[in-house]
Structure 1
Amino acid sequence: MHKYLLSIALLAACTQANAQAPVPAVDVQHYTFSITLNDQDDVIKGEADVRLSLCRDVSSITLDLDGKAADDKGMQVLTVTEGKKKLSFTHADDKLIINTAAKSGTNHTYRVTYGGIPADGLIISKNKYGDRTFFGDNWLHRAQKWLPCVDDVADKAGVDFIVTAPAHYSVVANGLKLSEKQNGSNKATHWHEDVPVSTKVMVIGVADFAISTPEFVNTIPVNAYTFKQDKSNGFKAYSCAPEILNFYSQQIGPYAYKKLANVQSKTIFGGMENASNIFYYENSVNDKAIEALVAHEVAHQWFGDAATESDVTDVWLSEGFATYFTHYYHEHKYGIDSLKKRMLIDRAGIFAFEMERMTPVVDKTKEKADITLLNTNSYQKASWVLYMLRHKLGDDKFIKGIRTYYSTYKNGNATTNNFRTIMEKAGGQNLEQFFKQWLYTAGHPKLRISYETDKTNHGVHLHIEQLQKEVYQLSVDIKMGSTNFTANMKDRVLDLNIAAPTEAGELVVDPNFKLLAEYEVLKK
């Protein structure tokens, strides 16, 4: 987003927010974070220029920023200014409240000067070789641990990072590098991202990196940043990224950013999909299954980064999509059997997870900052929902819907209902029940299928019963010998007769693995 003076675009942004949730007061347009790091201690010095617009009249401006704790970690605000005007503020309960009135539709830039030792968010530590490193790790609501910001997935903005650090370090951040200037023993590196992104994926990485020569996908440079000791393995491990980027660009739509860096890091996750610079765990460079991890994180650049969930309870729009499109990429590269194998492994994991925890994919009961939302539901079960939706709509309508969803919400935010509306239009059918039973209902169908041969006409009689509490509307494929049949269930029980197979054989339920269900088959 760009800065507008009482513009139609700003009013539209505020109106759109109102359609999804109560209108926030602040709509951040751009951040410029100037961060100074050193090798003597873990204290950072920061200066943040926060350019924002107001969606309603306010008597004060509130930003998220953790204060100092008992262990002396946290941030301390020194000054807040607007232009040359010094503003009063309070900093308590992890909120920075700037005491200044502002009118709806007006634009302001506030400069926050601050410093301290980050308790989290910016991880200052040593890598496996004992070398000092600095890595942003902001998911979820952890940007505020070291950056004054609106730390909400729905508030997206452009970002500049100007990092001053000892000259032996290299710096990577969102966007493109604009400059790198030596100043005595220090070096200032300036990265600029004008595409709006959420704070959860705004980061810096600072280490003694080895940096590969970029390979271009169309005009997008793709390269690797690894620890120098892992240069050979790391460059090879991340070399699959260009092929993956090209595949998703062709299948889904244009890549939203101007570069893709694949970075060996100290993230607490296996991989973190920071916009245009993905962070992978330290030993990823030796991971034999690295291609799947890269495919997952690159898919996030479309789903989660560019098209972002409006609320964290819709995180399946990020993690489920990245999981499914990893499988989709493997299907493209290795064939349909690879896809089926991966879906079967995920299905077993889903059933095991539901033995321990019975909650829906879209779980509105959890707190927004609860990391337990990252679970088998939001990854594997959500992926299965997309897989079943693909079979329900057919390949052409499914991918048409996916492309429309991405182009509609690229660089914006979407809800589950937004996605459903687009897929209904693309598929030409009502999907309310499909979404209700698979995303908003806990558990999965459990079917008991009994069958016997009808001695009168030599056909087969089937009795199918749903055993779970909720009644699903579903289609289950059945194969018996050379006969293939689809049973469409709308009620708890279905009785039907099928013609006798021309070739005998046992009854096989869901032979192509299209349905997330358990089956009990009984022959009378």
Structure 2
Amino acid sequence: MKRKLFLFTACGLLMLAQANAQSEATTQALTYQATATKINDLVHTKLEVSFDYDKSYMYGKAWITLQPHFYETDTLALDAKGMEIKKVAIVKGGATTPLKYEYDGWMLNIKLDKKYKGGEKYTVYVDYTAKPNELKVKGSAAITDAKGLYFINPKGEEKDKPTQIWTQGETEANSVWCPTIDKPNQKTTDEIAMTVPAKYVTLSNGLLISQKKNADGTRTDYWKMDMPHAPYLMFMGVGDYSIVKDKYGNKEVNYYVEKEYEPVARRIFGYTPEMMAFYKRITGIDYAWQKYSQIIGRDYVSGAMENTTATLHQESAQQDARELVDGNGWESTIAHELFHHWFGDLVTAESWSNLTVNESFANYSETLWDEYKHGKDAGDAQNYNDMHGYLQSNSEKKDLVRFYYADKEDMFDAVSYNKGGRILHMLRNYVGDSAFFRSLNNYLTTNKFKAAEAQNLRLAFEEVTGKDLNWFFNQWYYGAGHPKLNISYAYDDAAKQVTVTVKQTQDGDKVFRLPFAIDVYNGSAKVRHSVEMTEREQQFTFSYGSSKPDLVNVDGDKILLCEKTDDKSLANFIHQYKFAGNYLDRREAIDACAKNADNTDAQALLKLAVNDKYFGLRNYALSKLKMDNTAIKDGFESIIANIAKTDKNSTVRAQALSLLAAYNKPEYKTLFEKSVMDSSYSVSGQALEALTKIDPALALQKAQQLKAQPAKGKLMESISGVLIDAGSEADFDYVAGNFAKMPLSQAKMEMLQPVADYIAKVNNTALVKKGVDMIVDFRESIPAAYKSQLTPYINNMVLMGIAGKKKAQLAGANATATQEQIEYIRSKAK
């Protein structure tokens, strides 16, 4: 699963940090979360289902084949959440015999007809109705709801939204629509016959074996999955999709998209076959499953989900042609979910405590793919961004393998994903590429179609490398935190030696064992020293030749998961940019030069950096230029203007346009006006904002023209911004409609206050109420993990802020209506 993670800064990250810290402190004192005991094992699941769109019900019949795991038993406990159970029976020779059972709305406890021995198969039949909308469950920050089966716009009442059905099983929600043993250490084959309106297509695990038209205008599609997988990976999808067909070898690769996205489906998902080939090459194991399909789900409760052979993506994956000009923002998620078909689907975490063997690998696959497809800088950038995400998450007290947690949903966090991926990056560097990928092959081969834990991973690496890795796994997998390093240098020209002092400054008694490289540079010549830190403070001394080194670079490969203070000089950092050359080497140098922007050497380096070979660092360097610094503003103008006109990457041009606006020069009006019509939404949006500073009337005119055309991303935000500032009440539907359509994101949070300011200026009471309701809908859609922090902010600062501005209007001619608006706002700010 790829999480849908929000960083809502409007109310301050400090509040979230404090809440997370309190949660962590509580977590460590909780009860041990054991791997689920296996009394019965799933063998095969057969379903026949149909859907009631008016009631949002699913009518199901299930034939579940099981066997006692080892000890004989005459009882069976099935997870079956919120169902109406109509019949439970044992199946023998085609006949069914009713069984006694007890059902409390969550667990179906069945008394079998006899005692069955270990390995002796039996089949039970359950006739039931699933009622997901009547079930009260909670989600998490990563998975915002857990009712398993979702009817999207089932009656077609929302004109701009398709009718769909999709399921979401992780963690243990598929038992809302399928009686099962809903634990990750179970495996089952399955077959599902879905009866749906004939106008819709369906998707499930495995292959579509047959389709049968029915006399009542429905069709029954029969899907069969003949390889075992965990119950949470079972999937059903129904809707009015275009199916764009692709291939990997002789296997189907299909993309299920809404019809308007059919022309760009290959631009969104088209790397999938190449990804499959790449993952086969690095693991030595081919894609194991019968086919691979990807489908879009409206109102999806997370980012994406690796249902075996049938990955589900949220609607943000559907990008139009102009969005794709700026790059495929969903590519890393596509890679992530696909790699789960090795790590998570083929070999599954035996418990949620061991989620790392699923999610850390899927997270790290994003780095691996970027490195392979887009170059080492792209891979390193992905790696750095994920590390930064972990470091900002305030998760230092959480173990990677976590046997103590409040709820299984809590495992889906920046530790299981981001930190785990960075630990794999360090392990890869420690053992070397060949051993790393051979070890992955060993792990997957040994545990194929089974459940595993982190110890299985350790054993696989030890078998391949011949190294004892208990220290590494105890430190990183079964421990918490990360090192905080203070690095300093002392040069002794008489002795021709440099001494590097590295201190671990993290709180507590834990001392990390850290193998890394220290590179010593004279000009472009580098001498590498491999060292290992095992103490709280340690010194490493190296001899040098006739001249003092230009640079001593600790962690030369930039692989350590750490926070650090590095006492390099500005000259050292400049040399690092030019000769060390890794993405993070250059990024650190850009930071150092930006902090010393008055220094002419720093300015010269920044002029190199804004033309860096990697577009991500060009963007970053531009973002570090401070236009309130006269030396920067005067010295970079021609460079910025040239980048805005000529850079090959649209996001870099957009960044340059945003800086160029600070000059407020009429001579750039032609460039801004031309760029407003650029094919890139980012370029167009930034140009429109820049134009407002030179010619606000023209910018408003352009915004009015552009709002009649499709607009997403930065352009949509910029049009809305211009209309909020300078438009009229007549623009309400555009501004409100765009805000309502924005997915939960940082961008939507940042748009909240401007939209509220706009609503405060609106006089029409019906529109004010509509706008307030839209903000309330946004408030209610916030994941439970963030509600306690954000609800007071939205109520007190945003909604009551509108009310406060309305009070100032009470002296006007529209006083009665204004008072009604104020009372309505107050009623909603609760």
Query: Structure 1-normalised TM-score?
Result: 0.90
Alpha-carbon deviations, 1:341-371, whole Å to 9, x = none? 21122222221113x653121121114x532
2:217 is equivalent to residue 203 of structure 1:
no
Q: How high is the sequence identity, in percent, across the aligned residues?
A: 26
* Range 417-426 or range 478-487, more displaced: 478-487
Pairwise CA distance, 1:21: 5.5
Pairwise CA distance, 1:91: 0.8
- The residue correspondences of 1:445-464 to structure 2 (distance < 5 A) are 445-464=483-502
Counterpart residue identity of residue 161, structure 2: G
Aligned partner (choices 365, 378, 381) of residue 419 of structure 2:
381
2:50 is equivalent to residue 36 of structure 1:
yes
Distance between the aligned counterparts of 2:129 and 2:35, measured in 1? Answer: 33
2:311 is equivalent to residue 278 of structure 1:
yes
Counterpart residue identity of residue 418, structure 2: Q
Alpha-carbon deviations, 1:49-94, whole Å to 9, x = none? 000011222231110001xxxxxxx311100111221112111150
Residue equivalent to 1:89: 101
Residue equivalent to 1:225: 256
2:518 is equivalent to residue 491 of structure 1:
no
Distance between the aligned counterparts of 2:290 and 2:111, measured in 1? Answer: 38
Alignment CA distance shift 1:352-1:519 (3 Å): same
Pairwise CA distance, 1:455: 4.5
* Range 506-515 or range 42-51, more displaced: 506-515
Distance between the aligned counterparts of 1:415 and 1:158, measured in 2? Answer: 22
Contact kept? 1:481, 1:503, Cα under 8 Å: no
Distance between the aligned counterparts of 1:155 and 1:523, measured in 2? Answer: 53
SS of residue paired to 1:481: strand
Aligned partner (choices 471, 475, 479) of residue 437 of structure 1:
475
Aligned partner (choices 75, 81, 104) of residue 117 of structure 2:
104
Name stretches of at least 5 consecutive residues in structure 1 with no aligned partner. 1-19, 67-73
Alpha-carbon deviations, 1:477-515, whole Å to 9, x = none? 223323432331122222232112556313332232121
Alpha-carbon deviations, 1:297-355, whole Å to 9, x = none? 1001111111101111111111110111121111111222222121122222221113x
Residue equivalent to 2:66: 52
Residue equivalent to 1:15: none
Residue equivalent to 1:414: 452
SS of residue paired to 2:441: helix
Alignment CA distance shift 1:236-1:339 (3 Å): closer
Aligned partner (choices 536, 540, 559) of residue 514 of structure 1:
559
Pairwise CA distance, 1:156: 0.6
Aligned partner (choices 145, 151, 165) of residue 124 of structure 1:
151
Distance between the aligned counterparts of 1:297 and 1:269, measured in 2? Answer: 13
Between structure 1 and structure 2, the one with the greater Rg is 2
Distance between the aligned counterparts of 1:260 and 1:391, measured in 2? Answer: 32
Distance between the aligned counterparts of 1:496 and 1:247, measured in 2? Answer: 40
Pairwise CA distance, 1:459: 0.8
Pairwise CA distance, 1:443: 1.2
Distance between the aligned counterparts of 1:128 and 1:411, measured in 2? Answer: 44
Alignment CA distance shift 1:22-1:317 (3 Å): closer
Distance between the aligned counterparts of 2:249 and 2:266, measured in 1? Answer: 20
- The residue correspondences of 1:227-306 to structure 2 (distance < 5 A) are 227-252=258-283, 253-266=285-298, 267-286=300-319, 288-306=328-346
2:445 is equivalent to residue 404 of structure 1:
no
Aligned partner (choices 75, 88, 95) of residue 80 of structure 1:
88
Residue equivalent to 2:23: none
Distance between the aligned counterparts of 2:159 and 2:236, measured in 1? Answer: 19
Contact kept? 1:344, 1:513, Cα under 8 Å: no
RMSD of Structure 2 on Structure 1 (CA)? 1.9
2:77 is equivalent to residue 62 of structure 1:
yes
* Range 506-515 or range 169-178, more displaced: 506-515
Q: How many residues align?
A: 495
Pairwise CA distance, 1:422: 0.6
Contact kept? 2:130, 2:176, Cα under 8 Å: no
Counterpart residue identity of residue 462, structure 2: E
Distance between the aligned counterparts of 2:541 and 2:396, measured in 1? Answer: 38
Pairwise CA distance, 1:269: 1.4
Alignment CA distance shift 1:318-1:128 (3 Å): farther
Name stretches of at least 5 consecutive residues in structure 2 with no aligned partner. 1-33, 134-146, 570-830
Pairwise CA distance, 1:250: 2.3
Counterpart residue identity of residue 233, structure 1: V
Distance between the aligned counterparts of 2:256 and 2:405, measured in 1? Answer: 36
Residue equivalent to 1:176: 207
Counterpart residue identity of residue 78, structure 2: L
Contact kept? 2:49, 2:61, Cα under 8 Å: yes
Distance between the aligned counterparts of 2:568 and 2:309, measured in 1? Answer: 56
Query: Structure 2-normalised TM-score?
Result: 0.58
Residue equivalent to 2:192: 161
Alpha-carbon deviations, 1:186-245, whole Å to 9, x = none? 1110000011111111010000111112x2212211011112233223343122211111
Pairwise CA distance, 1:290: 1.8
Aligned partner (choices 464, 487, 492) of residue 426 of structure 1:
464
